[in-house]
Chain A
């Protein structure tokens, strides 16, 4: 079956530091890949997505590239802010046609001033 593996947190960074959160996946076919963000007390928000190999998703300074050869979709940001503190979820939707999401366990990011 499908699965997503994320690095365990929390990831603790100082403001303006570089961020990488690793994500690898297992799926048959050609899944779509997503990063969702969950701020404290809120629901999940779609951060970015990529639907085919070598696509780069980007939003709000965050980027992730769909690497089929390494089955990875690592999230990066060049300079984090305190307001980026949240839990980040990597997810995939396989090509079965039903669009259901398989999530990783989430990585908490804590950014200090």
Chain B
């Protein structure tokens, strides 16, 4: 158990809908990262937050957004969903803002768009 929790575990929704994925980092970690894992694209970094602020952005679509709250949990919002958004979404957390922190991954949320 990494100490990172994600809810829900599974999510099935229709095209055009909007969903919210939730992540709670390990106790003491200030950074949260979101990754998408799909069969065709592999594991891709989406976005990073540190202590409530956005720190780095990867291949995140404009239809997707995220935030980190004062209690350090994070939410990833996916809107106007398309079939191609079906994937595993992982959250990871690490201690700090810079450097080569080890990242600890949650169990993931499997999103299926029908």
Chain A interface residues toward B at CB < 8 A: 32, 36, 42-46, 49, 51, 89, 93, 95, 97-106
**Do the beta carbons of B100 and A99 come within 8 Å of each other?**
yes
Which of the candidate stretches B40-48, B62-70, B78-86 sits at the interface with the other chain? B40-48
**Do the beta carbons of B98 and A45 come within 8 Å of each other?**
no
Interface residues of B in 55-114 (CB under 8 A from A): 55-56, 58, 90, 92, 94, 97-108
**Do the beta carbons of B99 and A97 come within 8 Å of each other?**
yes
Q: How far is the CA of A100 from the CA of B49 in the complex (A)?
A: 11
Which range holds the interface residue count of chain B?
Answer: 20 to 34
Chain B contacts for A36, CB-based, 8 A: 105
Interface CB pairs A-B, < 8 A, 8: A36-B105, A43-B105, A43-B108, A44-B90, A51-B100, A100-B48, A101-B35, A101-B92
Chain B interface residues toward A at CB < 8 A: 2, 4, 31, 33, 35, 42-45, 48, 55-56, 58, 90, 92, 94, 97-108
Query: Whose C-beta in chain A lies nearest to the C-beta of B2?
Result: A43
Query: Whose C-beta in chain B lies nearest to the C-beta of A95?
Result: B100
Q: How far is the CA of A103 from the CA of B103 in the complex (A)?
A: 13
Given the known inter-chain contacts A98-B56, A99-B98, please indicate yes or no for A45 contacting B2, CB distance below 8 A: yes
B61 to chain A, nearest CB (A): 17
Q: How far is the CA of A63 from the CA of B110 in the complex (A)?
A: 31
Q: Which of B42, B43, B105 has the largest count of A CB atoms less than 10 A from its CB?
A: B43
